[in-house]
Amino acid sequence: MRKSSLRRTCAALAAGTSLALALTACGGTTKEDVKSEGASAATAGKADPNAELKKGLTVGFLPKQVNNPYFTSADKGGEAALKELGSSYKEVGPSSATDTAGQVSYVNTLTQQQVDAMAVSAQDPGALCTALKQAMKNGIKVVTYDSDTTADCRNAFVSQASAEDLGRTEVQLLAEQIGYKGEIAILSAAQTATNQNIWIDFMKQELKDPKYKDIKLVKVAYGDDDAQKSFQQTQGLLQEYPNLKGIISPTTVGIKAAAQYLSGSKYKGKVKLTGLGTPNDMRKYVKNGTVDAFELWDPAKLGDLAARAAVALVSGQITGKEGETFKAGETTYTIGKDGVISLGKPTVFDAKNIDQFNF
Ligand code: RAM
């Protein structure tokens, strides 16, 4: 049976019976279609860089959290790219950033709906793996974007910037702002978030440099990408550590909530805050003196690249192996180690440049 008709039969099966059972059975019969190679799940077979991009595909976007403005921008970028390429977009996903079971069921839904590819920002590095491997066994290409799974659970990861650059530069930004001295804390997203946890590891590495010997990281708090919880966690940090000099929040939801708390408190301008935020969320806190500088990439460009990588995978231009190249718009991207495709360098925003950005 040809793979496409097999997929159709499998999906019909999945629709009429227990999804898990049907997918297991179907996955078993197509095992030879997908072989794990190296660390990433690059498919067997050679990439053809000259293959024509397929049209009429459906690519499902599954963000960590649907009602998060960061993902609204990212996924809109994906939608626009797919429209330009003659393919269709759909978005599904949980409203909480700590609903891994919800994310698993959305992967299964997309598999059942026979999308051609899915772009997933994982709440947890391992929780989605069984479902994603099942999707790949059913011929669906899987791209992670923003927050990765382990490398064998997807074909490629579209990364916003080097994790090392992001972690280290956030410490550098804060250290300058507090004069290389004092207690600092981190306000993160969900405790399981792959992206934030890698960045935090690099922050800790950076802090080992002797130039930071007078800086002490006192706590990593988790606001779960929930505005209210992030606000309360900021308040809690300042109660627990009254001498706190600075906070790094590597999440758009966290940094906004922390800025909101600080700007209405006696700590405004005294306790420094940096991390990852959108210029539109942070503009007023830069202008009112709560925040000096923070950074981010353009989420819409990340979604755009995730969509184009997904279409390139389905079209056979790439398989996810290191060294393969593909064109996205005017730029040629080369796939790095472990199937990582990197968008580029982040931008630092401050009072001087923030008005040039609108996202
Ligand atoms: C939040 C999410 C997302 C992260 C950004 C910086 O919106 O946690 O995964 O990349 O912040």
Residues in a beta bridge with 41: 37
3-class DSSP state of 311: helix
Strands (E), 153-271: 156-159, 182-188, 215-222, 244-249
Cα of 252 from ligand 1 centre, angstroms? 6
* CA–CA separation, 323 and 336 (whole Å): 6
Atom of ligand 1 nearest to the CA of 277: 6
Nearest CA to ligand 1 atom 10: 146
Cα of 1 from ligand 1 centre, angstroms? 42
Q: Which residues contact 213 (CB under 8 A, 6 or more apart)?
A: none
- Out of 61, 62, 64, give the residue to mutate to test ligand 1, the one with the largest number of ligand atoms within 8 Å of its CB: 64
Nearest CA to ligand 1 atom 11: 251
Superfamily the domain 39-160+299-344 falls into: Response regulator (3.40.50.2300)
End-to-end Cα separation, the chain, in angstroms = 47
* CA–CA separation, 287 and 284 (whole Å): 5
- CB-count burial class (<10 Å; 0-12, 13-18, 19+) for 46: exposed
Cα of 9 from ligand 1 centre, angstroms? 37
Count helices and strands in the chain by DSSP H and E runs: 11, 14
Which pTM value belongs to this model? Answer: 0.89
Atom of ligand 1 nearest to the CA of 189: 8
Nearest CA to ligand 1 atom 5: 251
- Out of 65, 67, 68, 347, give the residue to mutate to test ligand 1, the one with the largest number of ligand atoms within 8 Å of its CB: 68
Q: Which residues line ligand 1 (CB under 6 A)?
A: 64, 68, 70, 121, 146-147, 189, 193, 195, 225, 251-253, 276
Atom of ligand 1 nearest to the CA of 146: 10
State the chain's maximal CA–CA distance in angstroms.
Answer: 69
- Out of 71, 149, 196, 224, give the residue to mutate to test ligand 1, the one with the largest number of ligand atoms within 8 Å of its CB: 196
pLDDT for 110-123, tens place per residue?
Answer: 999 999 999 999 99
Q: Of 3.60.20.10, 1.10.10.10, 3.40.640.10, 3.40.50.2300, which CATH number belongs to 163-296?
A: 3.40.50.2300
Atom of ligand 1 nearest to the CA of 70: 7
- Out of 195, 203, 301, give the residue to mutate to test ligand 1, the one with the largest number of ligand atoms within 8 Å of its CB: 195
> Which of 342, 341, 339, 340 minimizes the C-alpha distance to 42?
339
Give the start-to-end residue ranges of the domains of the chain. Answer: 39-160+299-344, 163-296
Nearest CA to ligand 1 atom 3: 251
Dig out the tokens for 216 from the structure: 């002490």
Question: Tens place of pLDDT for every residue, the chain, 359 residues?
Answer: 334 434 433 443 343 334 443 443 333 333 333 334 345 776 557 899 999 999 999 999 999 999 999 999 999 999 999 999 999 999 999 999 999 999 999 999 999 999 999 999 999 999 999 999 999 999 999 999 999 999 999 999 999 999 999 999 999 999 999 999 999 999 999 999 999 999 999 999 999 999 999 999 999 999 999 999 999 999 999 999 999 999 999 999 999 999 999 999 999 999 999 999 999 999 999 999 999 999 999 999 999 999 999 999 999 999 999 999 999 989 999 999 999 999 999 999 999 999 999 99
Q: Which residues contact 101 (CB under 8 A, 6 or more apart)?
A: 127
Cα of 105 from ligand 1 centre, angstroms? 21
Two domains, one topology: 39-160+299-344 and 163-296: yes
Report the b/e string of 162-200 with b at 16+ CB within 10 A. bbeebbbbbbbbbbebbeeebbbbbbbbbebbbbbbbbb
* CA–CA separation, 304 and 76 (whole Å): 8
